[in-house]
Amino acid sequence: MKFGKLAFACPFSNASLTARFAFYSFGCIGIMTLALWFVVSKYLTAQILEREWEITAQVLRADVKQLLVDYDFQATDRKSVGHKFEELLRHVTLMPDITRFKVYNSKGTIIWSDDKRLVGQSFADNDELLEALAGKVVADATPLKKAENLFDQTPMGSAIEIYVPVYSESKELLGVIEVYKRPDILYRDIRRARTMVLFAVLGGGVLLYLSLFAIVRQAARKIKEQQDNLLTMQSELVASQRMAAVGEMAAAVAHGIGNPLSSIRAAAQVAMLDAKAESDPEHTQKTSANLQRIMEQVDRVQKRMQGLLNFARPMEPHPAPVELNLLIQEVVETLRPRFADAGVQAKLELASNMPRLILDANHTEQVLMGLVTNALEATPKNGTVTIRTKTQPGNGAGPLVTISVEDTGEGIPLENRQKVFEPFFTTKSYGTGIGLPLAKKFVERNGGKIAIADTPSGGAKIDVSFPWQQLN
């Protein structure tokens, strides 16, 4: 046998949190409210009835004690004691709503009734009577237990039977008195109590529902707001990261091209001057040397461009043994025309015992180029840029190699010493502000440190130090 596929689709699967909460909590609170009303009203009804039976029993027993003696229940000659029971009936019917009663002896036989046809009869199938004979005050209020009758008008003439066991002084069961009580007032009281409970519980339920709904709606709004904020922040972050990457890239490209181009320009200028005196063969040779230089610099630009484009990829260093002193000399040689142009002297104080370091040569060259260019740009005519290398034992850690680039310019003001390492910070009209941040990045990627040191002359001094291990 084949069964069709059952699909239970939640009606609010796509709805908002608030709508789902409104639906489910309405159901839950509704069920809870009805259950509470049912339990509380049931308890209340039981309490009212029990109190009612107890009061009736107390009044009845007091009347019996006052009007009857033990013998009246046992007398075989009923006529002789009949008037006493008449008197008891008169007394008892003074109680509100009690209409009539029957009296049973201790064996369950009717010994007195306002309906004389019943006297002498016994009803074995009367469970309430049996319970009363066992000593309990019992009420037969079966219709009361039916909820659907509660709000109906109780039919006039219907009655509740209350069975009250009565005892002698010596606590011996004398018999049971059954009274018929008109239930209208009692039922009305119960109805009122249950209605009050219903309103109280409904009010509580509605209040609970509304306050929970308000809380959840507020929370849902907050969550939505936070989600929106998060999304905005995320997209802003992505945009700013993209912008930073693009900016960094553009600045790096500009920086990489800028320095070699300046050299090209200076060399071309010299070539132009030399070309003016072309008749001299010596000058012709000089011109070709300068033009050769221009080509070299153009090659350099291309190489640098390639290197900078690689910058877009993670700048993972490719370490290899590097002759630091040699690299410094090459950089200074490259910048020689610019030094000459600016009328600045380049002074090298290179340690003779310099070990070969394991560094990325391209990164190191760019660091040196950036630092020496900065020093050159900061130094006035006839000033000096000094590049030193030295080895240091290192404080506790391994030995260090330090490169210092010092100039006789104005120095870096204290307030700018943090900022100069931030991308795009520049005080130069033609600057891009990428030289030092890039140098810092490259130095750190190669395990080194860069710092601005103080000089007695007032110029700037940048120290770069790399740890070194002795190569075997």
Ligand X SMILES: Nc1ncnc2c1ncn2[C@@H]1O[C@H](COP(=O)(O)OP(=O)(O)OP(=O)(O)O)[C@@H](O)[C@H]1O
Tokens for 251? 């600045």
Residues 318 and 173: their CA atoms lie apart, in Å, by: 112
Strand 173-181 versus strand 98-105 pairing type: antiparallel
Residues 32 and 49: their CA atoms lie apart, in Å, by: 26
Residues 249-288 contacting ligand X, CB under 6 A: 255, 258
Q: Pattern 18-47, binding to Mg ion, x per CB under 5 A?
A: ------------------------------
* Least distance CB 259 / ligand X (angstroms): 8
Q: Which of 165, 256, 337, 409 binds ligand X (CB under 6 A)?
A: 409
Residues 447 and 359: their CA atoms lie apart, in Å, by: 9
* Least distance CB 224 / Mg ion (angstroms): 48
Closest by CA position to 181, among listed 158, 207, 198: 158
Query: Which C-beta is closer to Mg ion: that of 178 or that of 377?
Result: 377
Q: Which of 420, 443, 450, 464 binds ligand X (CB under 6 A)?
A: 420
Query: Which region, judged by CB under 5 A, interacts with Mg ion, from 191-199, 213-221, 335-343, 367-375?
Result: 367-375
* Least distance CB 380 / ligand X (angstroms): 11
Residues 376 and 344: their CA atoms lie apart, in Å, by: 7
Closest by CA position to 251, among listed 431, 439, 443, 445: 431
The H-or-E segment that residue 425 falls in is none
Backbone angles phi, psi at 468, to 5 degrees: -140, 145
Query: Which C-beta is closer to ligand X: that of 194 or that of 255?
Result: 255
Residues 103-132 contacting ligand X, CB under 6 A: none
* Least distance CB 254 / Mg ion (angstroms): 11
Contact (CB, 8 A) for 420 and 247 = no
Q: Which amino acid is at 438?
A: L
Does residue 435 belong to the site contacting Mg ion (CB under 5 A)?
A: yes
Query: Which C-beta is closer to ligand X: that of 389 or that of 408?
Result: 408
Residues 298 and 264: their CA atoms lie apart, in Å, by: 7
Greatest Cα pair distance, the chain, in angstroms, is: 173
Tokens for 455? 């000089």
Contact (CB, 8 A) for 166 and 175 = yes
Does residue 205 belong to the site contacting Mg ion (CB under 5 A)?
A: no
Q: Which of 259, 287, 374, 379 binds Mg ion (CB under 5 A)?
A: 374
Contact (CB, 8 A) for 191 and 68 = no
* Least distance CB 435 / Mg ion (angstroms): 3
Task: Tell me the residue number closest to ligand X, measured at CB.
Answer: 435
The partner in contact with residue 197, picked from Mg ion, ligand X, none with C-beta cut-offs of 5 to 8 angstroms by kind, is: none
CB atoms within 10 A of CB 132: 26
* Least distance CB 327 / ligand X (angstroms): 19
Rg (the chain; Cα; Å): 55
Does residue 425 belong to the site contacting ligand X (CB under 6 A)?
A: yes
Query: Which C-beta is closer to ligand X: that of 38 or that of 425?
Result: 425
The partner in contact with residue 428, picked from Mg ion, ligand X, none with C-beta cut-offs of 5 to 8 angstroms by kind, is: ligand X
Query: Which region, judged by CB under 5 A, interacts with Mg ion, from 48-56, 79-87, 415-423, 430-438?
Result: 430-438
* Least distance CB 414 / ligand X (angstroms): 12
Residues 364-383 contacting ligand X, CB under 6 A: 370, 374-375, 378
* Least distance CB 426 / ligand X (angstroms): 3
* Least distance CB 431 / ligand X (angstroms): 3
Residues 430-469 contacting ligand X, CB under 6 A: 431-437, 460
* Least distance CB 462 / ligand X (angstroms): 7
The H-or-E segment that residue 341 falls in is helix 324-342
Does residue 311 belong to the site contacting ligand X (CB under 6 A)?
A: no
Number of residues binding to ligand X, judged by CB under 6 A: 23
Residues 246 and 312: their CA atoms lie apart, in Å, by: 9
Three-state SS letters, 292-334: HHHHHHHHHHHHHHHHHHHHCCCCCCCCEEECHHHHHHHHHHH
- At residue 174, the 3 state secondary structure works out as strand
Does residue 407 belong to the site contacting ligand X (CB under 6 A)?
A: yes
Task: Please report, as ranges, the residues that interact with Mg ion according to CB under 5 A.
Answer: 374, 435
Task: Please report, as ranges, the residues that interact with ligand X according to CB under 6 A.
Answer: 255, 258, 370, 374-375, 378, 407, 409, 411-412, 420, 425-428, 431-437, 460
